[in-house]
Amino acid sequence: MFPNTFRSTRASACTRLARASQYLHQQLSFASGPWGILVTCLLAWAGAPALCEQVTIVDRDAHYPEGPLWRDGKLLYVEYSTSNIKAWSGTQNGVLWHKDGCGPSGLIARGDNLLIACYDGNYLVELDASGQEVRVLRADSSGRPFVGPNDFAADDQGGIYFSASGAYDIKAPITGTVLYLRADGKTITRVAIALHYPNGLTVAKDRRHLLVAEMLAGRLLSFPIEADGALGTRTVWARLQDLAPPTPHEDAYNGPDGLKLGPDGNYYIAQNGSGRVLVVDEDRKLVRVISVPTPYVTNVAFDPLEANVVFVTGAFEQWKPPFPGAVYRWAR
């Protein structure tokens, strides 16, 4: 299903959610009514209370959108395939920044500035509050270049972790890394190596661990955070196959993409290839599933002023240009 099949920017969903400890079965469907309304139904245990959800299309003409970030009353997000940063004001979208060859994949605030992960360009760009480039970072403090910088997570000390994924190829050598930009804004160190395409990452609820989506391994890793921002020995926090039943036609590239700790204390895992976001609690129990029409879900963001609102980015096609996608606002 491509963006031009939508005749309305609004979609409504009614979801029956299980209150039991695990799902036995789930079924997803999208049906278009006479007004272009899409209805999604997730079925779990019979008799579970029904909760109504609404999905609004924020941008129906996004080109492989990723890295959503709520900032200064606007939703910012990247368009990977067009090398744009776009902004949604609540009523309209516009291009905020563009750089040929960047191939942006992630955004994060650094004080008043904005850091952009340029996946294709293999560098980070920092913009000031006016949107002007102030510097480009291409290597860590030991001179090792970044390969596929992808996504970010801020800690409580003013530092920023970011993934450098390596090649998006299940047959390629496993060379992904996680790096740490210290609060001084100058020192960048490798804190984890030999990861199979690390993607999204977030500081855990206890603020003492970093969770990393190891996408091509289909799992989430946990690292203890040490005093200087270094990471300790990794453990497997969860495997996607243990969190929710598989969806049809999953392939070897299906895995966790974006990863965020939500304001409700749950973890939001964008499952790329399955058209859904898995919402999981601290005990690794599935709380709910957020489903959208784009199968290649990339990331999520939250509106700090509105509870129960999640922005979701995704693509309809990830292998062929122009990589059509969409940005959604989910609410309940």
Instruction: State residue 332's pLDDT score.
Output: 87
What's the domain range around 140? 3-331
15-39 burial, b if ≥16 CB within 10 A, otherwise e?
bbbbeeeebeebeeeeeeeeeeebe
Residues 289, 247 contacting (CB under 8 angstroms): no
pLDDT tens-digit readout, 256-274? 999 999 999 999 999 999 9
CA-CA distance, 66 to 293, in Å (whole number)? 15
Residues 6+ apart with CB under 8 A from 289: 15, 26, 42, 244, 276, 277, 278, 279
Task: Domain count for the chain, please give it.
Answer: 1
CA-CA distance, 147 to 130, in Å (whole number)? 28
Q: What is the CATH number of the domain that holds 243?
A: 2.120.10.30
Higher-confidence residue of 7 and 147: namely 147
Residues 133, 103 contacting (CB under 8 angstroms): no
Please tell me the pTM assigned to this model. Answer: 0.87
3-state helix, strand, coil in the chain (%, to 5): 5, 50, 45
**Token pair for 131:** 């949107």
pLDDT tens-digit readout, 172-220? 999 999 999 999 999 999 999 999 999 999 999 999 999 999 999 999 9
Strand order from edge to edge, sheet including 176-181? 149-154, 160-164, 176-181, 188-195
CA-CA distance, 175 to 167, in Å (whole number)? 8
- Count the residues in the chain: 332
pLDDT tens-digit readout, 33-88? 322 334 454 444 445 555 678 999 999 999 999 999 999 999 999 999 999 999 99
CA-CA distance, 294 to 217, in Å (whole number)? 22
pLDDT tens-digit readout, 89-121? 999 999 999 999 999 999 999 999 999 999 999
pLDDT tens-digit readout, 113-157? 999 999 999 999 999 999 999 999 999 999 999 999 999 999 999
- Quickly count: other Cβ atoms within 10 Å of residue 73's Cβ: 10
The mean predicted confidence, pLDDT, of the chain is 88
CA-CA distance, 196 to 219, in Å (whole number)? 10
Burial class (CB in 10 A: 0-12, 13-18, 19+), 196: buried
Instruction: State residue 49's pLDDT score.
Output: 52
Instruction: State residue 307's pLDDT score.
Output: 85
C-alpha dist (Å) from residue 56 to 13, 60, 162, 310, 321: 10, 10, 30, 11, 25
